[in-house]
Amino acid sequence: MKIEENRVFILKRKIKNLRLEVDPEGIKIIVPEDFEINKNQILTKYKIWIENKIKQLEEIKEIKNNLQIYKQNNLYSLIENLVSKVSEFLRIKPKKILFRKMKKRWGSCNYKEKILIFNKNLEYLPKELIEHVVIHEMCHLVIKDHSKQFWLLVSKLDPNFKKNIKLLSGYLLILESQNNL
């Protein structure tokens, strides 16, 4: 995979550390506001990582072409039922479940306060993928980070989690292109 120089963007933000993102728009080098940047040095240092991300993105674009948009009319009750089901297995319940529109995530977990937040756009996904997102966020009530133990726990509840992660990425691209996010 070749890195196209004209698709590399440098963004300065109020952050502490350099961050790289690869998306359909290109490569984003996100740096602290006071950071002096040598774009070529960063591209060279992270070349293999960037090329792998570009390859993954191409794979996700292919997956996207075979996906169908759904319309879950009962998203809130569906998620509440899935949370109850997963709660029985994990023996832990969230204190609160919230819904909001999110651009890059399907859900999030506030580990300390035991609050789960789900993207309202989950309504456009098949039930199996909604279940995967619920499992993922519920597992964060037990294990805060994405460690090996976390993925082991996820795999016990969702043996197809790797495939589901790719499908979710494909749906993000579809909804992004339709301006639903």
Q: pLDDT (tens digit, 9 = 90+) per residue, 145-176?
A: 999 999 999 999 999 999 999 999 999 999 98
Same domain, residue pair 127 and 45: no
Last residue of a domain, one of 33, 64, 95: 64
Starting at the edge strand found earlier in the chain, the sheet holding 96-100 runs 96-100, 115-119, 107-110
Same domain, 159 and 104: yes
Q: Which residues contact 57 (CB under 8 A, 6 or more apart)?
A: 22, 23, 24
Q: What is the mean pLDDT of the chain?
A: 92
Give the CA distances from residue 19 to residues 40, 48, 155, in Å, rounded to whole numbers and listed in that order: 15, 15, 28
Whether residues 27 and 58 share a domain: the answer is yes
Task: Name the pairing type of β-strands 19-23 and 8-13.
Answer: unpaired
User: In this structure, is residue 70 part of a structural domain?
Assistant: no
91 dihedral zone (left: phi>0; alpha: psi -120 to 50; beta): left
What would the mean pLDDT of 47-72 be, rounded to a whole number?
93
State how far the Cα of 103 lies from the Cα of 101, in Å rounded to an integer. Answer: 7
Mean pLDDT, residues 65-84 taken together: 95
Average pLDDT over residues 48-65: 92
The residue among 113, 135, 110, 111 whose CA lies nearest residue 122 is 135
The reported pTM is: 0.84
Range of the domain at 142: 75-177
Domain shared by 60 and 81, yes or no: no
The CATH number for 152's domain is: 3.30.2010.10
pLDDT at 134 over 90: yes
